[in-house]
Structure 1
Amino acid sequence: MQLFLALCFLLGIPSGAPDIHSLKYFFTAASNVPNFPEFVNVGLVDEVEISHYDSNTRRKVPKQDWMNKVTEEDPEYWERYTERNLGRQQTFKANIEILKQHLNQTGGVHIYQWMVGCEWDDETDEVVNAFDQDGYDGEDFISFDLKTETWITPVPQAVPTKHKWNSNKAEMDYRKHYLTTECVDWLKKYVEFGRSSLMRKDLPSVSLLQKTPSSPLTCHATGFYPDRADLFWKKDEEELHEDVVKGEILPNHDGSFQMSVDLDLSGLKDEDWGRYSCVFHLAGGQEVSKRLDKRDIRTNWKTNDGGFPTGAAAGGVVAALLLLTGCIMGLICLKKPPQGKVETLLVQVSSFGCSSSVISPLPFRHK
């Protein structure tokens, strides 16, 4: 099982499958992480943030205007789920202390994470996928296998927890019911609330960026929606796979997405420049193509006379564009350095922070 990089990796929407929708909830409890809440609850529909709760604000609030429609059926909705998250906050904090005792840990930074959600095909009305997994200190800890209806773990430290949870048949029955029924019912409701926004298709602006004349050339596309898209370099009409480094699709603060692909220019002859182009392809067939032209390259590299090369944009603008490729929606990435300590990377974009779930109540679970 892969490293549980909770809140950073994007599960599940298959490329080129516009009828697949996803509902995902991320819960994170942090111990001794500076300038970050002790508890954060994130909810996403089709990778779009829908709501927010954290232990600093202690309020659950909608992050999309269309999420306010939930109060048309249930006026007390936000207040009730605020109280529910206040309870979860204490439970998750306790989970960290329990795990620290079980693992003979004392101080230091520790992160406990829970991810749960489902995917649904709008066209066939089938449940495509469902997931429920816990992570601790940046690694998978335990997860629910829907096919076998049992808890599984990749680490020996979680074996006692696995046996304990597998002996609770009623809990596992509820878990299955939630993942295959309740989660999908909520997802259908949210998709209907936000259909005009979630089903839109926006083409990006495409820029050519280069730090220095010897650096790879970056083709950067930003502002597209949805995230089922591809960006690639081609020579004449053939897609290039050598001398190309493709980046991941990342979310922007406004709910749109961005991505980039680098091209090594070291072996490129001047007479061949016009044969190259960067192509953005959105699911459904829409494309944006930008032919390679030195005059269109934006850079913050200065010439010997102190000026900028032809076609260069202001350095600050380009720097901002380049920095965007590292932004990950204000979520948390965790990795395990060789020393065994958890390195916590906290990236926040503007006021777009973590958001909370609008999930039906799930049992509080202690390790």
Structure 2
Amino acid sequence: MKFFMILFLLGIPTVAPVMYSLKYFYTSSSGIPNFPEFVVVVLVNEVQIIHYDSNTKRAVPKQEWMNKITEDDPRFWEEETNMLNSNELTSKVNIAIVKQRFKRTEGPHIVQRMSGCEWDDKTYKINGFEQYGYDGEDFLVLNMTTETWIAPRQEAVITTNNLNNNKAQLAYFKFYYTKECTDWLKKFLYYGKCLPACSPDLPSVSLLQKTPSSPLTCHATGFYPDRAQMFWKKDEEELHEDVVRGEILPNHDGSFQMSVDLGVSWLRDDWNRYSCVFQLAGVQEDVITPLDKRVILTNWRRRGASMTVRDIHLHFSYFFPTFIKKH
């Protein structure tokens, strides 16, 4: 399994609980020109809130609302910077040790660390995680249930033996990831108004088609959280053949977007028998968009009512994404 691979899971029940997360990503590198040797990114619900690197040596906010935290804790940014300064020094020792374990002292190398916690405000379930990777593969994983370190690679066995003998550190990890980490997560959620909301947000859904022979796209944007699925159905039967689901992608405001394509081979009979279905974790009712030729946005014509300003922006961002991104 590749380290930190993101899996987009389909088939999630609509009543699934919503988990909130606080994640720290540490990247230590050596031998990579024009790239900081140490970078830290902190995310809440997949929204970046803090950045630090070895060039600036300062922890800085990545969201305007993060400045509010100093109203209650005036020394927050100073203490955060001091902590990450210390982590930077430790990272240099760690990457040197790992390179020796693998007997690879030359060339570029990267050590990654991911730590944090997830919290469900309805069931109060808490998950903590701490793991390391080296050059893109798992190296160390902390099992929070058994309170033991696991070595996915033979080169990590010596390290796990040393860490598992440090009972005081293991006890601290358990306390931190089940109590202190979630306390910080709740604080960040409060300042960020739950990024963007404590309750799920439903999307706006549009039907798009580039040409009469192109697949018909059902596009949903602005939803939150990112545990969702979309599919096409005919009457009450879900379609699988000639259907392509896109990945869930982030928007700049912390919400998400996704799409699902329907091949034109299906569009030979009554279009009113088709509909696009969007399902969001934590929401009981589906968002159903009937297939109506009058509301399809195309790049050769627009049937029915004239376009709104929002329609025009969506139209051009779909057909000319590179232009919109650059301009």
Same fold (TM over 0.5): yes
The match for 1:275 among 258, 273, 276 is 273
Give the AA of the match of 1:78.
W
Is the Cα–Cα contact under 8 Å of residues 8 and 248 in structure 2 kept in the other structure? no
Task: Provide Cα deviations, 1:209-264, integer angstroms capped at 9, x if missing partner.
Answer: 45666554332222222223322211123332333232332222221111122223
1:137 corresponds in structure 2 to 135
1:346 corresponds in structure 2 to none
2:161 corresponds in structure 1 to 163
1-structure distance, mates of 2:14, 2:24? 21
1:309 corresponds in structure 2 to 300
1:52 corresponds in structure 2 to 51
Task: Provide Cα deviations, 1:134-191, integer angstroms capped at 9, x if missing partner.
Answer: 1111111111111111100221111111111111111111111111121122222223
2-structure distance, mates of 1:247, 1:279? 14
1:362 corresponds in structure 2 to none
2:42 corresponds in structure 1 to 43
- Give the TM-score normalised by structure 2: 0.81
The structure where helix makes up a greater share of residues is 2
Report the alpha carbon displacement of residue 107 of structure 1 after superposing the two structures with TM.
3.8
1:3 corresponds in structure 2 to 2
Do the aligned partners of residues 14 and 67 (structure 1) sit closer, same or farther apart at CA in structure 2, a change above 3 Å counting?
A: farther
Report the alpha carbon displacement of residue 26 of structure 1 after superposing the two structures with TM.
1.2
1:24 corresponds in structure 2 to 23
Is the Cα–Cα contact under 8 Å of residues 114 and 132 in structure 1 kept in the other structure? yes
Report the alpha carbon displacement of residue 194 of structure 1 after superposing the two structures with TM.
3.0
Structure 2 residue 247 is the aligned partner of structure 1 residue 256: no
The answer to which structure, 1 or 2, has the higher relative contact order (CA under 8 A, 6+ apart) is 1
2-structure distance, mates of 1:110, 1:255? 31
The match for 1:146 among 124, 140, 144 is 144
Report the alpha carbon displacement of residue 32 of structure 1 after superposing the two structures with TM.
4.1
Give the AA of the match of 1:318.
Y
Where do 4+ consecutive residues of structure 1 move more than 6 Å? 312-315
Unaligned regions of 5+ residues in structure 2, if any?
Answer: 304-311
Task: Provide Cα deviations, 1:19-44, integer angstroms capped at 9, x if missing partner.
Answer: 53222211112334465433221222
1-structure distance, mates of 2:193, 2:137? 35
Task: Provide Cα deviations, 1:293-349, integer angstroms capped at 9, x if missing partner.
Answer: 5565556xxxxxxxx53349798532454899xxxxxxxxxxxxxxxxxxxxxxxx9
Residue 269 of structure 2 aligns to a residue in which SS? Answer: helix
2-structure distance, mates of 1:115, 1:30? 15
Alignment map for 1:228-239 (pairs within 5 Å)? 228-239=227-238
2-structure distance, mates of 1:173, 1:130? 13
Alignment map for 1:232-247 (pairs within 5 Å)? 232-247=231-246
Is the Cα–Cα contact under 8 Å of residues 49 and 255 in structure 1 kept in the other structure? no
Residue 198 of structure 1 aligns to a residue in which SS? Answer: coil
1-structure distance, mates of 2:117, 2:70? 23
Alignment map for 1:103-142 (pairs within 5 Å)? 103-127=102-126, 129-142=127-140
Is the Cα–Cα contact under 8 Å of residues 17 and 228 in structure 1 kept in the other structure? no
Q: Larger deviation: 99-108 or 14-23?
A: 14-23
Count of residue pairs the alignment pairs up: 313
Residue 171 of structure 1 aligns to a residue in which SS? Answer: helix
1-structure distance, mates of 2:165, 2:274? 60
Q: How high is the sequence identity, in percent, across the aligned residues?
A: 57
